[in-house]
Structure 1
């Protein structure tokens, strides 16, 4: 029996990533590329016009991220399937694993691409796309904000907005992507338990960084740069430099 044709949409803000995926998909039988988009808003308009079966969706993009696009499409009743594409985002990967959707790590491997498409064919027969999408969004919602105590009460913070956490005695200073700083009543050891494994990495005894904001590592002087609304320079322990190399290949 010949499989039904799958129409797909490629959504990624990096032209090189779209080019590679388009080239690899050309070698997969019974797959038709319905369009390409560089951001969530453009993707939404394309979905309205093409109603694809499956979207290859980058998670981290300027403006709205991939999960926000999923929420918007679900709210408008689209029954699209998703395969998420990410360079490194452990928090996002954990969320996808908790649903029936799949993900690909960049750079995309041709054999993995064929595997996830075959798996999509199977789950699309076994379950309704609305149910699978709701599973994903529900899991994201469970851990979307952290509750952290302060001297006067508590704050709720989106983990994705945290650029880094710096030890300050029995307290921890948290620097957010918008430049805001918060001091919480937990030492860095407790914060590590909350964040490690969610895309965060401990670079020294006194600092944890969000790998999404890492833009530069200097082996010579043992430092790194993080970039949110401002640039932050931090020292990296020598023993942690090799681990950073391993993470980013």
Structure 2
């Protein structure tokens, strides 16, 4: 990552903006390029300032933070989204719009540092990927055609007999390649092995449900299937998912 992280803070509470700005200014890699006191002004700043990351409150007058996040999903370059809110009950909805992280007020300096590490890791990966592999997609066959899937389209994949089934939000595709080979290809993307036969896109995870004997099940956005999580993987999975 060669340049400073262009950052916008969007919050209708001046004190919260000032607190977050003070904490972020301690990070020499961060440049705060704009502040906004509403979702509407935040959207305008995003369109004109081209930020790398936005910190956005959820409950704001008129346009909420969730509405703002949904609005920018069709942009060519979508900034990383960090929700900064006093309300923990919006977490599931936040990750449906592929937020990178979710910070609770009052802000904890250590948690903010962990969030910024995730931001830097993601931006460094994106920069490296743009330089070395501008088009990196997984080729799958579909009724005699070759379909190219972006890793971000994949919700999860699993091994069934002698095939690997790749699940997107709306479709399923099958490959002969073993899951271990696909896991290697998807390195650098947010995929996690939850079970010897399952590989899950962490950006799509919505729920973690206790099952039995220390095992869990996962649900991902837009899918009814429950994905097994072996007890050996639970601790590491939670460390990747939680603040």
- Counterpart residue number, 2:146: 154
1:88-237 → structure 2 map (5 Å cutoff): 107=103, 110=109, 138-139=130-131, 142-149=134-141, 152-177=144-169, 179-221=170-212, 222-237=215-230
Report the equivalent of 2:92: none
Matched residue count:
188
Distance 1:36 1:146, change over 3 A: farther
Q: Structure 1 residue 160: deviation in Å?
A: 0.9
Q: Distance in 2 between matches of 1:109 and 1:194?
A: 36
SS of the residue aligned with 2:152? helix
Q: Aligned to 1:235, what secondary structure does the other structure show?
A: strand
Offset, 1:215: 1.7
- Kept after mapping to 2: 8 A contact 1:219/1:241: no
Q: 2:19 aligns with which of 5, 18, 23?
A: 23
2:77 matched to which residue of 1? 71
Pairwise CA RMSD: 4.5
Is residue 45 of structure 2 the alignment partner of residue 46 of structure 1? yes
Q: TM-score, normalised by structure 1?
A: 0.56
C-alpha deviation, 1:24, in angstroms? 1.5
- Whether the 8 Å CA contact 2:218–2:229 is kept in 1: the answer is no
How many Å apart are 1:155 and its aligned residue?
2.0
1:201 deviates by: 0.7
Distance verdict in 2 for CA 1:20–1:219, change over 3 Å: farther
Structure 1 residue ranges without an equivalent (≥5): 1-6, 73-81, 88-103, 117-133
TM-score, normalization by structure 2 = 0.57
The residue matched to 1:62 in structure 2 has which SS?
A: helix
Q: Is the 8 A contact 1:163 1:226 kept in 2?
A: no
Instruction: Decide whether aligned partners of structure 1 residues 158 and 20 sit closer, same or farther in structure 2, where only a CA change above 3 A counts.
Output: farther
What are the ranges of 5 or more consecutive residues in structure 2 without an aligned counterpart? 1-5, 56-65, 84-99, 117-125
Q: Could you tell me which residue of structure 1 aligns to residue 70 of structure 2?
A: 62
Preserved contact between residue 191 and residue 200 of structure 2 (Cα < 8 Å)? yes
C-alpha displacement of 1:244: 1.1
Cα gap change, 1:85 to 1:154, in 2 (>3 Å):
same
Question: 1:8 touches 1:52 (CA, 8 Å); kept in 2?
Answer: no
What SS is found at the alignment partner of 1:186? coil
